[in-house]
């Protein structure tokens, strides 16, 4: 479970543990079928919106596009990455103005909503229970001078 590794900060010690999750081997110069796309920029066919609706508004931020792509695939369509479409994404610029603890709460809230909706209840419980341990690990890393994020 990749999200459990994220919550418990495993990539800070073993950076390659999320290579598959982060699509490290993906060729971004070619079209390809993917599990989900980033919410910063994606195009949706009108017929898809007509059939399954828009994004789930219960997510404030994060996981709404993952949720949507899961619904799209469940309805029989493919989710595709196409390098021909371009936009400029200033990754993290808006959130750089938000206190780190608050962004963590947003992420936690959305992640747990997603898991409650799509995964077995026990996985939701494991993630919810692991969160305080992840916060303790973060405090320990910060105290040891290991601040920052894992490069994705």
pLDDT tens for each residue of 39-51: 888 899 999 999 9
Phi first, then psi: what are they for 37, rounded to 5°? -120, 160
| The two structure tokens encoding residue 152 | 């994705």
**Rama region for 23: left / alpha / beta (φ>0; ψ in -120 to 50; rest):** left
**What pLDDT digit, counting tens, does each position of 102-120 carry?**
888 888 999 999 999 999 9
Q: Which helix (H) or strand (E) holds 107?
A: helix 100-118
- CA dihedral over 104, 143, 20, 28, signed as positive or negative: positive
**Entry pTM:** 0.83
**In the predicted model, is pLDDT for residue 148 greater than 70?**
no
Q: Of 23, 6, 22, whose CA–CA distance to 149 is shortest?
A: 6
């Amino acid at each position: 479970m990749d999200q459990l590794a994220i919550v418990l900060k495993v990539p800070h010690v073993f950076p390659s543990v999320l290579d598959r999750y982060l699509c490290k081997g993906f060729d971004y110069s070619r079209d390809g079928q993917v599990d989900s796309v980033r919410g910063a920029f994606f195009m949706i066919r009108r017929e898809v919106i007509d059939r399954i609706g828009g994004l789930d508004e219960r997510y404030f931020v994060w996981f709404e596009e993952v949720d949507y792509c899961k619904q799209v695939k469940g309805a029989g369509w493919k989710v595709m990455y196409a390098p021909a479409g371009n936009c400029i994404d200033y990754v993290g610029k808006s959130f750089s103005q938000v206190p780190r603890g608050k962004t963590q709460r947003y992420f936690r809230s959305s992640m747990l909503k997603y898991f409650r909706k799509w995964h077995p209840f026990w996985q939701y419980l494991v993630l919810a229970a692991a969160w305080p341990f992840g916060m303790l690990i973060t405090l320990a890393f910060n105290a040891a001078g290991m601040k920052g994020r894992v490069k994705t």
